Chains A and B, each alone.
Chain A
Amino acid sequence: MNTLIAITGLGIFCLLFEILNLRKAIIPITIAGLLGVLALNYCEFGAEQSYYNNMITVSKFSTAFSSLFIIITIFLVALSHNFYHNHPTKISDYVAIKVFLLAGGVAMVSFGNLAMFFLGIEVLSIALYVLAASDRLNIKSNEAGMKYFLMGSFASGIILFGICLIYGAMGSFDITEIHESALSAELPIWFPIGMILMVVGMLFKIAAVPFHFWAPDVYEGSPALTTALMSTLAKIVAVATLFKLVSGLNLISSLENQDLLYTFQNIVVFLSIASMTVGNIMALRQVNVKRMLAFSGISHAGFMLMTLLTVSASAGVLLYYTAAYALAGIAAFSVILYVCRDHDNEDITNFHGLGKTNPLLAAILTASLLSMAGIPIFSGFFAKLFLFDQTIKAGFVSLVIVAVINSIISVGYYFKLIIAMYSKEPNQERTGKPFLIYAAAVVSIALNIILGLFPSLVLDLLN
């Protein structure tokens, strides 16, 4: 709870700094503040309690994920220094919006009441709409913003309708109450429908097939930093929330009562297979790196969906997977930000010969891509491993085999980038070594590798 308040406060402060003409200091102060929040959040870890008659419930799950979100946000804020250096007047707004967005995210994973959930998701989304369209004079950015806005609010409508139906079925927004009454026998059919509507809404947010179409376009159009934010923070927030929704509202067992569990599992299996396959195959022929990563994100969404099949056991796995994915994403995007600073597009050609001009960044990007591809010692591999382990334990061997085949396909496009960096001749020289970008990249990939070497650190948090 305190975390949430602190974050919001921090956001407001960011706005105040603008007024107080502290633009220079804004980034460091915000980072410091976020670190403080992180510490605060860490203190809350393990304490199970709820506030404001159960509007917010703090649990291991919520705190763990909140800390992850905060860490990611720190990186994003750090990156924004160089990204916005040519319109300094707006920097405080951008940073503030990111912080608010984080608040929304934290609210989403720690909601105790569907109202809170709804608010959280809207805070997140609206912030994203703004950021997506933030490059005002760039038509691409506008289009991205508009697309995301229309479809997003459409999805919010669906979610709202879902909430409404559940309310109708249960007569309450409080998830603990719903959790209990979900077990009771004959529920009105609205309940499962409502759940499905909410789940679909969330599937849209995490860009799972067939609700993924917005992702590539929006990722491509938005400013690179926003894309980074979407593909890391926004995605993992959505996944975590979806997971919490399914577990918190006790969907599985309630469906079990109405023997719909099997149906639900089929749906999940189908969606996850579809997401992986479509994502990976579509990514093969992309030339724009952001777009490529959008599709790779879709496929990763498919992987993460596998956790919904083993809700009871796989919170830790999900946390690990999201952490690995987000850290790799941050590392990759910081390199992309550096490489594409003064280009209007993010085509692969911009990366030619990076291995010669900036070996370190090239190595980092390589590492992050290998992590996404699931090559050992990078945490991406263990994430996949634990995921497959869980899933086979639940008896979905065929799903795992499809997933395996998909990870083979994915290597195809990840390596396209690596080859571009190492075996093509550099077509421009890249000057300057912006400290914050390098720092973000190094730290994030280091964290990624550390996670790989000591997976238990994260894995055991939620078990």
Chain B
Amino acid sequence: MDTNLALLLVLTPFLGFLINVFFGKSLGKTVSGTIGTLAVAISFIVTLVLFNQINSTGKGIEVTLFDWIQISNLKINLGFLLDQLSVLWLLFVTGIGSLIHLYSISYMHDDENMHKFFSYLNLFVFFMITLVIGSNLLVLFIGWEGVGLCSYLLIGFWYKNQDYNDAAKKAFIMNRIGDLGLLIGMFIIGSMFSTLDYATLKTAVSEGSPLLSLAALCLFIGACGKSAQIPLYTWLPDAMAGPTPVSALIHAATMVTAGIFMVTRLNFVFDLAVDVQTVIAVIGAITSLLAATIGLVQNDIKKVLAYSTVSQLGLMFLALGFGAYEVAVFHVITHAFFKACLFLGSGSVIHGLHGEQDMRKMGGLRKAMPITFWTMMISSLAISGVPFFSGFFSKDEILLTAFHHSIPLYVVGSIASVMTAFYMFRLMFLTFFKEFRGTEEQKHHLHESGSLITIPLIILAILATFGGLISLPGNSWLNEYLSPLFTKAEGGEHHLGATEYTLMGVAVLGGLLGILIAYIKYFKQNNVPESDDNIIGLSKLLYDKYYIDEIYEAVIVKPINFLSKFFRDYIETGIAAFVFGFGKVTGEIAFQGKKIQTGSIGLYLFVFVIGLCAIVSYLFLAQ
């Protein structure tokens, strides 16, 4: 029964993928879109069923299909583990997934390759589910690389544009760097405990050791790749090249949280690697700040959201670093809601403006597209941590945890969230208020998007509003639900004392402050960001993302390519010349040798006699 459920869960999206790949074209856009959506919806329903079951019984379901790879000291089978964590993840993966599918039906309707789009999306969901419910690290790895592949395909969906293809390639390769880390981590763990199964691992891992910390570090590198943390985050902003639903689904809600999932999954390992945890916390904090600062000045609406995603992910890692896994998970969920909503909203805007993404050419859309406006407004409030929106609770939890462990990181985190509030409302003001700054005929075509687009927006907005209820401070259903996963009840459960309330206050104030500044700067003074060429000073530095990409280009990519040229032109030819050398030398000897053969009998006989005498005399000498 469980097996069938699990298979149904996994295979329906895959089925959708197959159908769309092979028959999508002939089925026509709407049908293929519906099929794609249904496929995901079905697995969402299945998830609900499983969720009820697990929530009631409180223990996970193990499904083993067959053993996959045999290695002498560890046997890896293709199996699934459906427990609280994975099902929770599935809930929003499939849930938001189906919403976004729905959204895409209308959004992608003008694209000739719509069926491809849906097949890729289905494939993505399939891999994402595999990633989540895999019963061991290697099955997770299937999903892990699989989603990477799908993001490659979807970022490069408009493959005629080589820049998009570059972005896609970049994403894949950077993920691969992380994946190598993950692999190495697996190797170490495998050789230490001779298993990669979570269940057995959990019992096997007893006390920390340098090797274990190394493993944890490698795994974290993997997480950095997927979840866009320093130093491997630069692919995510570029990934915005993909269609907006993709950005919403893959690069905001689901895939990028895989890193957090993995760390949470292996919490028992990370708990024992304290030094690594600090690393995680620090990296998370820095990432969130760095990304936030960059987000301050971006003008491409999706870029802003992208950087805010990176920064939010940073916050989550901050929480992970303190072992507050359920807090991180909480933020993952709320973030999934409002960030998905924001992306879809921005998509709706872009849709309305026929592909315009530069906020400097927007403005005053409030009247034109009210639903989009209100949903995005709600989400912005949520992400800015305005009280009683979902983001408020989750972000607050994180900051609380940070405060309890290290003040500096708390400060960093808070600053980041202030900035978040600022640039989110900068976005809102620039986009929806004041006068429209686009072209006339754009203005002429301004309209609210269709229901297929707005419905998901509304649903997500609602979720973004009330999502916080699942883990209210004090009595948190989430923590209860997740508790069986964690060895020690870390973070989370703060009894609400004075400090907590003050901190909340501070956070709220910070958020409001950010909003206020944005209001003054972009509403009252009504100034619009400069055009690219006369941005100067610090903002220029920020606008160009600290030149990180350029640095990577110069430090890594260029040298490798140079090396490649060098090898090709010198080493290769060198070796070849060496090998040919033998032939050349013998040939030369032969050529010279021909001169000895003069054709003169006298010489021949002379050599004859010499040889004879030599032999005879040698005989004598020997005797």
Contact = CB atoms under 8 A, between A and B. Distances in A.
A and B directly contacting (CB within 8 A): yes
A321 interface: no
A79 B605 CA distance: 33
B612 A158 contact: yes
Interface stretch (B179-187, B335-343, B385-393, B593-601): B593-601
Interface stretch (B1-9, B250-258, B509-517, B613-621): B613-621
A197 B615 CA distance: 9
B607 interface: yes
Interface string B334-367: 0000000000000000000000000000000000
Interface in A116-166: 146-147, 150-151, 154-155, 158
B603 A213 contact: yes
B612 A200 contact: yes
Given A192-B619, A193-B619, A260-B623, A147 B601 contact: yes
A213 B604 contact: yes
Contact of B597 (A146, A192, A213, A281): A213
Contacts of B615: 196, 200, 267
A204 B612 CA distance: 10
A281 B590 contact: yes
A210 B601 contact: no
A427 interface: no
B590 A282 contact: yes
B608 A204 contact: yes
Interface stretch (B137-145, B287-295, B476-484, B581-589): B581-589
Interface in A218-269: 258, 260, 262-263, 266-267
A94 interface: no
B586 A263 contact: no
A284 interface: yes
A158 B611 CA distance: 13
Interface string A281-292: 111110000000
SS class, residues of chain B in contact with chain A: helix
Interface in B152-188: none
A456 to B, nearest CB: 37
Interface string B10-28: 0000000000000000000
Which interface residue of B599, B607, B611 has the most chain A CB atoms within 10 A?
B611
Interface in A400-432: 409, 412
A411 to B, nearest CB: 11
A227 B431 CA distance: 98
Contacts of B594: 282, 285
A416 to B, nearest CB: 11
Contacts of B623: 189, 258, 260, 263
B593 A278 contact: yes
A284 B587 contact: yes
Contact of A281 (B589, B601, B616): B589
Nearest to A200: B612
A395 to B, nearest CB: 19
A217 interface: yes
B590 A285 contact: yes
Interface residues of B, number: 25
A214 interface: yes
A263 B587 contact: no
A210 B604 CA distance: 9
Contacts of B498: none
A267 B601 CA distance: 25
Contacts of A278: 593
A216 interface: yes
A211 interface: yes
A157 to B, nearest CB: 11
Interface string A88-116: 00000000000000000000000000000
Contacts of B610: 210
A145 B622 CA distance: 38
Contacts of B611: 200, 210-211
B590 A267 contact: no
B591 interface: yes
A147 B608 CA distance: 13
Given A200-B615, A282-B594, A285-B590, A210 B607 contact: yes
Given A213-B603, A281-B589, A412 B583 contact: yes
Contacts of A281: 586, 589-590, 593
Contacts of A258: 623
Contacts of A158: 612
A285 B584 CA distance: 11
Which interface residue of B589, B604, B616 has the most chain A CB atoms within 10 A?
B604
Nearest to B591: A285
Given A211-B611, A213-B607, A263 B622 contact: yes
Contacts of A284: 586-587, 590
Contacts of A262: 622
B615 to A, nearest CB: 6
A434 B618 CA distance: 53
A196 B583 CA distance: 37
Contacts of B616: 193, 196-197
Given A216-B597, A281-B590, A211 B618 contact: no
A334 B605 CA distance: 32
Contacts of A409: 586
A263 B593 contact: no
B93 to A, nearest CB: 61
Interface in A171-197: 189, 192-193, 196-197
Contacts of B612: 158, 197, 200
Nearest to B602: A150
A53 B518 CA distance: 129
B599 A260 contact: no
A260 B622 contact: yes
Contact of A263 (B605, B608, B619): B619
Nearest to B611: A210
Nearest to B585: A281
Given A196-B615, A213-B604, A263-B618, A285 B597 contact: no
B251 to A, nearest CB: 56
A79 B331 CA distance: 96
A181 to B, nearest CB: 19
Given A211-B607, A285-B590, A285-B593, 18 more contacts: A146-B601, A197-B616, A200-B612, A213-B597, A213-B608, A214-B604, A217-B599, A260-B619, A260-B623, A262-B622, A266-B618, A267-B615, A278-B593, A281-B590, A282-B597, A284-B587, A284-B590, A412-B586
28 contacts: A151-B608, A154-B605, A155-B608, A158-B612, A189-B623, A196-B616, A197-B616, A200-B612, A200-B615, A210-B607, A211-B608, A213-B603, A213-B607, A213-B608, A214-B604, A260-B623, A266-B618, A267-B618, A278-B593, A281-B589, A281-B590, A281-B593, A282-B594, A282-B597, A284-B587, A285-B587, A285-B591, A285-B593
Interface of B: 583, 586-587, 589-591, 593-594, 597, 599, 601, 603-605, 607-608, 610-612, 615-616, 618-619, 622-623
